[in-house]
Structure 1
Amino acid sequence: MQLLQDLKQLPVPVFLSGVSAMRHYLGLPLAPMTTLTLAGDLVTVARNFAEPQFCSVPGVDAVVEHPDTTMLIRCAEQPPSPDAGTTPASSISSWHYSPHSSTYIDQASVYKQLRGGELKTEIASADDAVHAALALAQLPLQPSNPLRHPPAIMSGEIGPHELSRDAQRILLEGILGGEQARTALEHLHDWGWIRAFWPQLAEMDATEQGKSEHPEGNVWQHSLEALTHRKTLDIRVGLAVLLHDSGKPYARQTARHRFHLHADIGADLASRLLGSLGFPPDIIRDVCWLIRHHSFPGALAKLPQHRTAPLMANPLFPLLLELYRCDLSATFRGPEGYYSACTVYRRFLKYEKNPFRDPAGKKLLNSLVE
């Protein structure tokens, strides 16, 4: 991978750390965010990385964008060493990988966890909870019993005041960038984290749906199930899948609709939530567009051309189809509706720029051709 080659060329010691080093050991690809430890200070970061950004995230001194991933850099006075094992044996962040020497550094017997397939860690602070949640989302390890009911969170000792908005955003991005995002979110919910930090999402767990249409459960359970069907870890898709039905708890029931205008309500809620966490405006715009139109592909074959063509012309439409597929798959229904929508979209793309046919494929009279 290009990132490791680039890190290897740096004149200063730099290491993959924590979950990122564990993923490398397990042969997993880079996650959308990668944690690094650099032997040096912020001046060293500025000298060796282009356009570093600085944020108020515990344990992160700089954020740098790389074509492969977003690098979260922690500065240390000395390189990690197995002789400097001052971290508790349960700590996830005490496992490192050196691109320079192609070796692993285990400061706290993490190797036993990796070999045993079990994640063991204690949660005594918000930072511990962040590391644990990211590990649950990004590593195929089974959580040990102490992870299931961390007292510091469940007693209210850890709350939103413990974590900046930047840290909360990076946590949510890191979870949705993991293959086991559902597992991490389930644990955060059980810990009381969701209710404490993101109460808008907690309301989804209190909103039931019809068993005939949603045998998988309530709105929260449906959203978590939908996450398991993603084919891409694009953050826009992850956020849209998680939040696509977030408007249902606030929607009113009418004679024709159980959750009237829930997509519009959900898009507005997502805009406020993601804005409060500091997500970039373009990400918020795209996610809200996907949420607002997430039911549209299901009606694609029935709607007139003048209504479907403008939406299908949007560059985000392939992501909308992916959101629809996840939503449909979570209900345990067959994929026929998704395939039907794909057929209509392919036909639209085929004839969109054809001067002799309209986007539906119907022939047009061209005055220059008889």
Structure 2
Amino acid sequence: MSAAPDAALGAALLRVAAEASVPSAALRDAGLIDAVPELAALAATPQDPQWHPEGDVLVHSLGAADLAARLADEQGAEPDRRRLLVLAALLHDVGKPATTRAHEGRITSLGHAEHGGALVRELGGRLGWPGSLVRPLAALVETHMAHVSVQGEPTRRAVRRLRTRLETADASLADWAVVVRCDGEARGAAARPDASLPWLRVAAELG
């Protein structure tokens, strides 16, 4: 695909993320999922039904994007922030197609967050997205699993480290919290409580 069509495709995705009340429907109606190989691949990537009974990675990702749009609107987010949150929710598992493995009856995707960040940088460059969007977007994708390695309340050091990493990329812990919440809630019958809340509590204590 040439540069001009890629730029037009990128602009269409940005409009959906900034404006569509139901991004999943807008993406399907405009044929954008099939037009972006990284999104199309999500439909062919299974998930462990214990953690994701809702279906494949595309089903989960579209559900997360719809939740992000709703939360952004409830928060009165400006278009640029809404765009960031919806795209981060949509692309948070974009690294799964390359990292998903079946082993002894289970499905894993170790390293998908880090790989996803690299893919977001490549995708953003190809679609002509500005660096001011790609930097925080990649950071949110890379860190959306940061809470998983912590049992119980995170330490002040862990929260400070994550917050600094996000802020260095022009994202925020509040942005991260939206992505984590959407990831947890977009799991059908296995929906999880908001795992970002302990991190936000500690961050509030840090000031």
**Within 2, Cα distance between the matches of 1:325 and 1:263?**
16
Taking a change above 3 Å as real, the CA distance of residues 311 and 254 of structure 1, as seen in their structure-2 partners, is farther
Q: Which residue number corresponds to residue 182 of structure 2?
A: 326
User: What is the CA distance between 1:298 and its match in structure 2?
Assistant: 4.4
CA contact (8 A) 1:241 1:323 kept: yes
Please name the residue that 1:180 is paired with. 22
Asked if the contact 1:214–1:331 (Cα under 8 Å) also holds between the matched residues in 2, the reply is yes
Letter in 2 for 1:347: V
- Indicate conservation of the 8 Å contact 1:297/1:321, yes or no: no
Match of 2:83 in 1: 235
In the alignment of these two chains, the number of paired residues is 187
Match of 1:246 in 2: 94
Instruction: Determine the structure 2 residue equivalent to 1:348.
Output: 203
Higher relative contact order (CA 8 A, sep 6+): 2
Work out which of the two has the higher radius of gyration on C-alpha atoms and give 1 or 2.
Answer: 1
1:281-327 CA distance string (max 9 Å, x none): 12101000000001123455355443332113444110000001111
**What do you get for the CA RMSD once the two structures are aligned?**
2.5
2:158 aligned residue (307, 313, 320) = 307
State the shift of 1:185 in Å: 1.8
Of 225, 228, 231, which aligns to 2:63? Answer: 225
C-alpha distance in structure 1 between counterparts of 2:184 and 2:162, whole Å: 20
Partners of 2:6 and 2:126 within 8 A in 1: yes
Determine the structure 1 residue equivalent to 2:118.
268
Return the letter of the residue paired with 2:202: R
Equivalent residue number for residue 168 of structure 1: 9
Q: How far 1:259 sits from its partner (Å)?
A: 0.5
Q: 2: distance between equivalents of 1:290 and 1:226?
A: 14
Q: Structure 2 residue aligned with 1:336, among 171, 183, 193?
A: 193
Among the aligned pairs, what percent are the same residue?
Answer: 26
Change beyond 3 A, Cα 1:179–1:170: same
Conserved? CA contact 2:96–2:109, under 8 Å? yes
Change (3 A) 1:320 1:201: same
> CA offsets, 1:205-224, max 9 Å, x none?
10011112111110011101
Q: Which residue of 1 aligns with 2:38?
A: 200
Q: Residue deviations 1:126-145, cap 9 Å, x none?
A: xxxxxxxxxxxxxxxxxxxx
CA positional deviation for 1:237: 1.0
State the match for 1:291 in structure 2: 141
**Does structure 2 conserve the Cα–Cα contact (< 8 Å) formed by 1:247 and 1:265?**
yes
Counterpart-to-counterpart distance in 1, 2:98 and 2:194: 27
C-alpha spacing 1:258/1:344, structure 2 compared with 1 (3 Å): same
Change (3 A) 1:303 1:342: closer
Distance 2:193 2:54 in 1: 19
Deviation at 1:244, TM superposition (A): 0.7
- The 3 A distance-change label for structure 1 pair 242 and 276 is same
| Deviation of 1:346 (Å) | 2.4
Where has structure 1 moved over 4 Å in runs of 4 or more?
A: 160-163, 254-257
Q: 1:334, CA displacement in angstroms?
A: 4.7
- Look up the match of 2:75: none
| Counterpart amino acid of residue 226 in structure 1 | A
Structure 1 residues 216, 289: CA separation in 2 closer, same or farther (over 3 Å shift)?
same
Residues 205 and 221 of structure 1 are in contact (CA less than 8 Å); yes or no, is this contact kept in structure 2?
Answer: yes
- SS of 2:101's equivalent in the other structure is coil
Structure with the higher helix share, 1 or 2:
2
Once residues 170 and 305 of structure 1 are traced to their aligned partners in structure 2, the CA distance between those partners, rounded to angstroms, is: 39
Q: Pick the structure with more strand per residue.
A: 1
- Residue 193 of structure 2 aligns with an amino acid whose one-letter code is E
Q: Secondary structure at the match of 1:164?
A: helix
